[in-house]
Structure 1
Amino acid sequence: MAGAFSLVSYISVKVIEEQVIDARLAKMADRLIDFQRGGRMPDAPSDIRFLIDADIPVELRRLPAGFHEVGVGNRHVHALLRDQGSSRYAVLQEVGELEHTELVILLSLALGFAVSVLLAAVLGVLCAKRIIAPVAALADAVGRNAGPTELPSLSAQDEIGVLARAFAKRTDELQQFLQRERLFTGDVSHELRTPLTIMLGAAEVLIPQLSERPAQLATAERIRRVAAETAQRVSALLLLARAPESQDAPCIVLNTIIESEMERCRSLLHDKLVECRLEWSEQVSVQVHPELAGIVIGNLLRNACRHTEQGRILVQLSAARLLIEDTGSGIPQKVRKRLFDRFVHGDERPAHEGTGLGLSIVKRVVDHVGWNVRLETPEAGGTRFVLTFPAGAGSLVNGP
């Protein structure tokens, strides 16, 4: 705006200058020529020169009649040339003083432009700080998870107040939802622990009594094993219901968890021509609760066993990642982007064996413990899941 104002002012000065000088020269020319043609001596102002015919400088004789701005000698003049009868008249006005005035005006405009820009910058910074301050305070409060009633500017009637109240409402809804979810998960897990403990105790008491009845002994052992596994899953759900920062996870050897989960999944490969192989060159330690690690690895292994009819299931463990690859039917392209969503199945069969929650639970646990999981498609077909561990994971001792 300052630049536009300065430009308009400069153009206005030039236009006014031209019009004023030209009008004055035209008026003086009419008066002086009338005096001269009337036989009287024309009386010109001190800054005006009135020349006739031979007295006109050579530079002006070649110019047509009209207004001109030219240099005569070492001077810069405005000239009005007129032809009347056989005579040529010239009225000259030096513009040195006008140029000085014009320079002063231009310098004033330049100074005004600079001051305007500086003032605009200062006012812009001050206004921006004043306007942004409530937004920054609101963002800080939301970032530190302040309660809905602790958000600033809630009583303001401007746009910031509207935004703060919208944040407060949304924050309250989210906190209530999270609280309900945690309470539900905790309550269900707590209520399941008692019957599971009873089942586990009854199975352990029953097993020694069936030593001479192999069929019933196998059934009792299976009940005990399933009850123990379910109890571990319930403990994992209780851990999952807590905030990650409130947990002090132990440092465990992941190899043992993998071997245990692979043993649990062997029954799913009964009567299938599938080789399940574990490859590792070192024992890997990670900081995680074993129940949560078991949920992740167990779900991925069970999916691989259920969807692989022949071929192999390869489990590779290194210090930085865990790879679970199978030669099964693979996952359709259209569901890959939503694979970790709830109730999404990884196959297109009309009847599904599961509920579509396994991989969503895997994703939730992985996010909870700070790992990362991604889906890859091997060139030979099938499915490959890759779990990567944070920088804190590392090897303990070399293995076979």
Structure 2
Amino acid sequence: MFVGSPLRAAMERTQELYSNDEQSIEENLPAQEEMNTTVEIESSSIPQSKNHKRWLHISIYVFFVLSCQALATILGRLYYENGGKSTWMGTLVQLIGFPVLFLFRFFSQIKAPKSTDTTTSIQFPSFTTLGSVYIITGLLVSANSYMSSIGLLYLPVSTFSLILASQLAFTAFFSYFLNSQKFTPFIVNSLFLLTISSALLVVNTESQNTTNVSRVKYVIGIICTIGASAGIGLLLSLVQLILRKVLKKHTISTVMDLVAYQSLVASCVVLIGLFASGEWNTLTSEMRSYKLGKAPYVMTLVSIAISWQVYTIGVVGLIFESSSVFSNSITAVGLPIVPVVAVIVFHDKMNASKTFSIILAMWGFISFVYQHYLDEKKISHTNPVEVTRLPVEEGHRDIQIV
């Protein structure tokens, strides 16, 4: 009897403790479920926030490309229309504004948070490798700029801008070999529409716009513009390859360095050409005889320089965030805008073919963006936690905005 009582008491005590534990677990279960739900919401909202931030960057780059491309082209033609004759000066102002890129890089580093990740070590390219990259791309940039300067001198604005839109086809061609670019039906549709849009305006260019230019110079302008278009397509694809294979530290600082130093090399090459050709001797008389005056002459050249550098930031930024084909599609969309601006500035006629060309260009742009939307939607269903980038290029590694 006395032995059973302590045993019974111990069993009752154990049962009481077990009951209390079950009650405690049941009471804490709703709180635990709420905590798990909160963690899931927070973890899913972080990638969504990063994705929205990325689309914001893309929107800013698109604005840079569309606005500054039209502005720089119109100002370049304004320079020639009012007495400017130096093709080397017209080339130099496309490049000499590269210090703006260093300023942009400086402020981006101030605003960016310091990275504390020390787990990953990326081997930075050697000085020789970087120097070779800057020299090769710089030489290509200088050649493209000089050919486009000649084309803008001898061709009407609409003809020049819309022949230049053929760079989209050249970029697709070079990206196929250099970057293994894959084409979906929507991308092919976009390329087709943008190419037809450009070709339509070139074919229907009014002949009276070139009455003050000889036939030989007109043909030279077309050849140089096509050459510049091919060179730009090669450059965009090459830059994408360099960012992926050579400059593996994907930051805004890296991109700005690439663009700034290649512009520095190109500016030096063009300066040599300016002095070697003897055109620098005529710049003083050119400024004095400029129809709009000396101050507008200087302001025109300065504005061209700044506009082209902001445009360059947009182009490389789109390559950085997406692909060279997408970047070139935005460029092709912007080229039909130039004739519209030319109607206002130079009083050109807006005919039905120009209007239809712009509609085709916008259709092609929408087709390309829709393909990006489908790719992103597909990835989000496959892996909803880690959707933080546009799924355009294979091998496109994590990108930091620094």
TM over 0.5: no
Bigger proportion of residues as helix: 2
TM-score for the superposition, normalised by structure 1: 0.24
TM-score for the superposition, normalised by structure 2: 0.24
Bigger proportion of residues as strand: 1
Give 1 or 2 for the bigger CA radius of gyration: 1
